[in-house]
Amino acid sequence: MEALITLANLLYLLSYFMQDILRLRILTIVAASILIAYFWLRPEPIMAVVYWNGFFILLNAMQVVRILYQRHSGTDPYAHALETLRARICARFPRGSRRIIRCRNLTREGQLVAAGEIALN
């Protein structure tokens, strides 16, 4: 049973050396799954660790789906939501209070002129 902890930590260690974020996420999911198995199968399961690792698996799985979608379609599914949020913030607040988000790249309709990011000044 203790070998599961060593295996999970070795997978975590290996994931830190991955240059491809998709491989890192997948190795992290596998390592967290091994930790769930270990802590669930103990004589007295430690459910807090099981739940937290399950939560981290869910987060990483969502990111894997996003990365695969982005690689397949060539677009980021969150880009439109960020652009809309930025346009709404810039339209709502007066010019002097726009210190955090740069609004100068927006047209009058609130659309981005160039594909920009939310940028800190």
Per-residue confidence of the chain (121 residues) as pLDDT tens digits? 788 888 888 888 888 888 888 888 999 999 999 999 999 999 999 999 999 999 999 999 999 998 888 888 776 656 666 677 777 777 766 665 545 555 555 444 444 444 444 443 3
Q: Residue 54: its pLDDT value, please?
A: 95
Q: Residue 19: its pLDDT value, please?
A: 84
Domain span at residue 18 reads 2-73
Q: Are residues 49 and 67 in the same domain?
A: yes
Q: Are residues 62 and 21 in the same domain?
A: yes
Answer whether 116's CB lies under 8 Å from 102's CB: yes
**Cα 46 from chain centroid (whole Å):** 26
Query: What beta strand segments (E) does 54-108 contain?
Result: none
Q: Are residues 27 and 63 in the same domain?
A: yes
Q: Residue 69: its pLDDT value, please?
A: 84
Q: Are residues 21 and 58 in the same domain?
A: yes
Helix (H) or strand (E) holding 53: helix 47-73
Answer whether 55's CB lies under 8 Å from 39's CB: no
Answer whether 57's CB lies under 8 Å from 32's CB: yes
Q: Residue 107: its pLDDT value, please?
A: 45
